[in-house]
Structure 1
Amino acid sequence: MGYYVEVERGVKVYVEDTGYGRPVVLIHGWPVNHRMFEYQLSQLPKYGFRCITPDLRGFGRSDCPWAGYGYDRLADDIRAVVDALRLPSYALAGFSVGGAIAIRYMSRHQDPRVSQLLLLGAAAPSFTQRQDFPYGMKPEEVDAFLAMNDKDRPLMLEMFGELFFASKVSAPFKQWFHGLGLEAFSHGTAAVLLSLRNEDLRPDLPRIRVPATIFHGTLDRICPFPLALLMNQGIAGSRLLRFEHSGHGLFYDELELFNERLQSVLAGSP
C-alpha cells in the first residue's frame, strides 16, 4: 500500500507500507529510492514486520522541492511520517545516507518511540575526509560527481554504481538498480550529495541512547569499513556486524546473510 504524507506545507513524500506487525522504518540511500529494499520487503513481512519505506524528498515518487536537503530537514521529514502514522513504537533503519539521516534523527529528536537503531553501510560519522578525519571520499571526488551530475547524470550514476557491489551482479539487475537513480530529481540528487560532502555527524554519535547495530561490508569502497569502527566506538553500547564479502551494497552482496541478520536483530535475538 502506498500513500503520501505532507511533511511541510506544499511538500509531500511518498511512503510504501508493506506487511503487518512490528513496524520498522527503512530509509533508503543515495541516489536511489525505497525500491532498493525490494529483497527485504519480500521477506520481512513473513516474520511479522510492517515495513514503512519513505522516498526521501527529491527521490522516487516524492515531491521535488528546491530546498530542504540538509540532514536536519530530511530527519524532520522522517519525524513527520512517523507522527502521521501514529506509530507507538518502531525500529529505525537507514542505509548509506539513510543511515546518516537516522543518526541525525536520533540526535535531533531523541524519539522515545524508537526501540532500536540499525545502521546499514551508513555514510557516517563523515562521508568525506577532513583535516582531522582521514577516512571516506575526498571532497574533490564528490565535487567531480557533482560536476558530472550537471553534464551527464546517467554516466555519473553508472560510475558510482561500479563502486557499489563487491559481488558480480547480473546485467539486468545492474540496469534495474541504475534505473532507480535515474528516477530521482537532478537537483535533489546534487543537493543530497552536497549534504553528504558537508555534514559531520561526529557530535551526534554520543547523543544516541537506544540499542544500535551497525551492519557494514569490509570491502566497502564508498563508505570504507573504518567508518563502521568509528561509529562503533562513538555510539555507546553499539554492536558491529561485519560482512566479510560485501561492498557498499551489503543488502545484496550477501543477501541471505544480510536478511537473516536483519530479521534476527529486529526480533531482538543476539
Structure 2
Amino acid sequence: MKKLAFIGLGNMGMPMARNLVQAGYYVYGLNRSKGKEKTFQELGGQAAESLSYIAENADVIMTCLPQPADVEQMLTGEEGLLQMNIKAPLIIDFSTVSPSLHTAIETKATEKGARYLDAPISGGTAGAEAGTLAIMCGGKKEVFEEAKPLFDVLGANITHAGPAGSGTKVKLINQYMVGMHTAAVGEALHLADQSGIDQSLVYSVLSNSFAQSKIFDRHYNDFISEDKDEPGFALELLLKDLGLAGEMAKESNASLKAGDLVRDLFENADTNGYGKKDMSVLYQYVKQQED
C-alpha cells in the first residue's frame, strides 16, 4: 500500500487528511502544532516522526500551508524536503502561492527525480469536510492522472488546467472574484442597514435575483446572520491571495482597477484588527466606518 504524508493539519488540511484515512489510505500527518498531530491520530492517522522520515518513507507528499514562504521553506528551503534524501515521491501542494514559485519548485523536484503538482483548492472548510472541494491542478498531465484517485477522495470538481502554475492562476482568479463578492456583500448589507431595509428580506430577494452568489450564501447564512466571525477562511488569508492576484495581473499586463480598490479595503480592515477573523467580517469593518 502506498504511504501518504500530509503536511499542514489546519482548518483545511485536517479534514482532507482525515478523508484520505477514511478512504483506506495509510497517512502520516505533520504539523507545526503537535496538538494537531494528536488529533489526527485520534482520527486514525499516523503522526510523522519528522520531515526527514516523511522524505524517506512517503510515496506521496501533500502540503497545505498558509503562506508562500511556508511552502518555499518546506519544499526548497535549506532544510526542506527537496534538499533531503527523498524517495522520489509525488509531491502535491494544495496551498495558494504564486505561479512562479510553483514552476521553480517543479524544476527542483524534477532534478531530484520527484513529480510535482500545484493543486490549489476552493470550497472552504465545508467542502474539505465533505470531500467536495474544487481542485485546480497544474503540472504534467500524466502526473495529474497518477494523482487523480487521491483528488477523487478530496474533491468533486477536479480540473487539469495546464503546466505547473496553471492551477494556481485559475485559483487566483477565483480568489480575486471572492474578494470582489465579499466587498459587495459587506457594502450591500451596510447599505440595507443604513436605508432601513431588513437584511433577511434583502437576502431572500437577492438570492432569487442576479445578485445571488455562493459567497453571499456563505457570508450571510453562516456568519453575518449568526453574528459569528470565527474564521472558516481568515480575512488576512484572502488579503494575501488578493496580493498574489495583483502580482499575477502585473506580470500579465492586466489592469485590475476595481481590484486595487477592493484590496485597499481589505488592507485597511486588516490594519484595524479584522485580519484573523473570517473574511465575512469585511461587513463589520464597513459598518464600523460609520460609527
Considering fraction of residues, name the structure with more helix.
Answer: 2
Kindly indicate whether structure 1 or structure 2 has the higher relative contact order, using CA contacts under 8 Å at least 6 residues apart: 1
- TM-score normalised by the chain length of structure 2: 0.25
Considering fraction of residues, name the structure with more strand.
Answer: 1
Structure number with larger C-alpha Rg: 2
